């Protein structure tokens, strides 16, 4: 599909380029011919002699006129040939330039299309898994003629679990789609306030694992952005820190200023993340250790992708530094307002 579009776009660019060249070539040719007429005009005394039949033999007159005519035609032809040659060179060179320009124009569209294709494939794969599980379990239950009320209730409970996973997944997908499409509202907000609000939103979840937050909010920086989205990004980091931290541990939340940027760091004493995983965890649907993550934490690998999208939409970046067995630090860097 893209090769045909590339061909069409190249042809369009080349067409435009050639149309401009031809539009310019016509007046250039006319101007050159005018100039030629002007410079090849016979000097007045020669004209006088030629006009006077008695002074000059008509054959000499004819010959001179013919030679001038030939000279004139020859010069005209040369101008035309040169212009055709220049246009031909532009056609060939322009072909390459047009191809290059068309490729550059299509590249971001092609990348977006590829990513959309991957996204749809990943999303449908993730959606299919709980749906298939529910379908199979329900079919088995329905075929059981001795199905008791207790077993039916168990089945319904299991269905509810799968449904809540599906809800979580579709909410994450919707959030990602919205973030990729729209513009976020911008207001001036303090980085410390973002950290405080995120902690407030997740403190109940943390208390269930007896996890406490240690705050070191050391910057007066503000940032331009959508506070709800930025709080959401920090909540994702805190939620992960809680998920992967041992019970009764501390999660550190730090804010600081560094060369024109506001930094927000979340550090946990969890299992840490290996080097290979560190490069991939911000991708959609990527889960570090599938068995551990799925059973213990039950995530879909969308959290960090959402956080990254939020932060990059604010002109910032999100990074991780981690040592296996020691814990992880996630850093959000935003341009200070
Ligand atoms: P999930 O919903 O699976 O947590 P995320 O996108 O939030 O999805 O995280 C992607 C992966 O990154 C997780 O599956 C996990 O392996 C790893 N990860 C994220 N945060 C931490 C952390 N604080 N400690 C260890 N691993 C983490």
Q: pLDDT tens digits, residue range 117-163?
A: 888 888 888 888 889 989 999 999 999 999 899 999 999 999 998 89
Rounded to whole angstroms, the Cα distance separating 286 from 280 reads 7
pLDDT of 115 reads 82
**Pair 162, 193: CB distance under 8 Å:** no
Ligand 1 shell residues, CB under 6 Å: 240-241, 244, 268, 270-271, 273, 281, 286-289, 293, 297, 299-305, 328
Tell me the per-residue pLDDT of 172-185, one tens digit each, with 9 for 90 and over: 888 888 887 777 88
Residue 289 has pLDDT above 70, yes or no: no
Q: Where residue 79 falls among pLDDT bands split at 50, 70, 90? A: very high
Q: What is the mean pLDDT of residues 296-319?
A: 87
Q: How far is the CA of 70 from the centre of ligand 1 (A)?
A: 85
Least confident of 98-112, 259-273, 286-300: 286-300
- Chain CA centroid to CA 244, Å: 31
238 within 8 A of 198, measured Cβ to Cβ? yes
Q: What is the pLDDT at residue 123?
A: 87
pLDDT at 48 over 90: no
Residue 226 region, left (φ>0) first, then alpha (ψ -120 to 50), else beta? Answer: beta
With bands split at pLDDT 50, 70 and 90, how would you rate the model's confidence at 97? very high
Dist. CA 330 → ligand 1 center (Å): 11
Q: What integer best gives the mean pLDDT of the chain?
A: 89
Q: Which residues pair with 261 in a beta bridge?
A: 258, 335
In the chain, the percentage of residues whose pLDDT exceeds 90 is 65
Q: Look up tokens 């509810």; give the residue.
A: 160
Q: Which H or E run includes 21?
A: helix 2-39
Closest residue by CA, ligand 1 atom 23: 241
Confidence of residue 285 (pLDDT cuts 50, 70, 90): confident
Q: Which residues of 141-155 are buried (b: 16+ CB within 10 A; e: fewer)?
A: beeeeeeeeeeeeeb
Phi, psi of 245 (to 5 degrees): -85, 155
């Amino acid at each position: 599909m893209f090769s045909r579009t590339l061909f069409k776009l190249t042809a369009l660019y080349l067409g435009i380029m050639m149309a401009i060249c031809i539009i310019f070539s016509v007046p250039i040719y006319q101007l050159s011919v005018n100039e030629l007429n002007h410079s090849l005009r016979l000097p007045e005394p020669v004209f006088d002699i030629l006009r006077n039949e008695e002074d000059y033999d008509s054959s000499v007159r004819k010959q001179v006129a013919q030679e001038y005519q030939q000279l004139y035609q020859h010069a005209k032809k040369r101008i035309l040939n040169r212009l055709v040659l220049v246009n031909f060179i532009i056609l060939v060179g322009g072909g390459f330039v047009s191809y290059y320009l068309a490729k550059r124009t299509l590249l971001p569209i092609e990348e977006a299309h590829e990513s959309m294709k991957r996204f749809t494939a990943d999303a449908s794969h993730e959606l299919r898994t709980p749906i298939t599980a529910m379908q199979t379990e329900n079919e088995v239950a329905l075929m059981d003629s001795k199905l008791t009320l207790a077993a039916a209730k168990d089945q319904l409970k299991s269905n509810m679990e799968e449904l809540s996973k599906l809800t979580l997944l579709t909410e994450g997908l919707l959030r990602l789609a919205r973030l990729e499409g729209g513009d976020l509202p911008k207001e001036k907000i303090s980085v410390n306030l973002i950290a405080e609000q995120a902690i407030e939103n997740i403190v109940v979840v943390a208390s269930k694992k007896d996890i406490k937050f240690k705050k070191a909010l050391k910057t007066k920086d503000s940032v331009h952005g959508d506070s709800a989205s930025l709080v959401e990004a920090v909540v994702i980091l805190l939620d992960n820190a809680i998920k992967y931290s041992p019970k009764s541990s501390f999660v550190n939340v730090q804010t600081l200023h560094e060369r024109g940027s506001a930094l927000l760091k979340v550090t946990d004493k969890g299992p840490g993340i290996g080097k290979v995983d560190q490069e991939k965890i911000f991708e959609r649907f990527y889960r570090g250790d599938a068995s551990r993550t799925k059973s213990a934490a039950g995530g879909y690998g969308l959290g960090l992708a959402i956080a990254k999208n939020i932060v990059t939409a604010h002109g910032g970046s999100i990074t991780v530094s981690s040592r296996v067995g020691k814990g992880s630090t996630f850093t959000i860097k935003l341009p200070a307002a």
